[in-house]
Amino acid sequence: GAILDAALDEFAARGFAAARLDDVARRAGVAKGTIYLYFADKEALFQELIRSSLVPVMTRLTTVPPDSRRAA
């Protein structure tokens, strides 16, 4: 969680191309090697960030709510 939060901050601040895993690690308060225990590279970290952050939002946005006007 801390790594993904730090990655979000870093990617938002610098963009994908300029973001560095060293800076993500610093923001997360972990060693850079710790990131590599969970993610193969910066792209894998970014993909997981998108998957964990945006997919739930997109699911909520595309889910049709039950019609509350119908009587049960």
The Cα–Cα gap between 47 and 1 comes to 14
**25-70, pLDDT tens digit by residue?**
999 999 999 999 999 999 999 999 999 988 788 888 888 777 766 6
The Cα–Cα gap between 66 and 47 comes to 32
The model's pTM: 0.76
Contacts 24+ apart (CB under 8 A), 27-32: 28/2, 28/3, 29/2, 30/2, 30/3
pLDDT of residue 71: 56
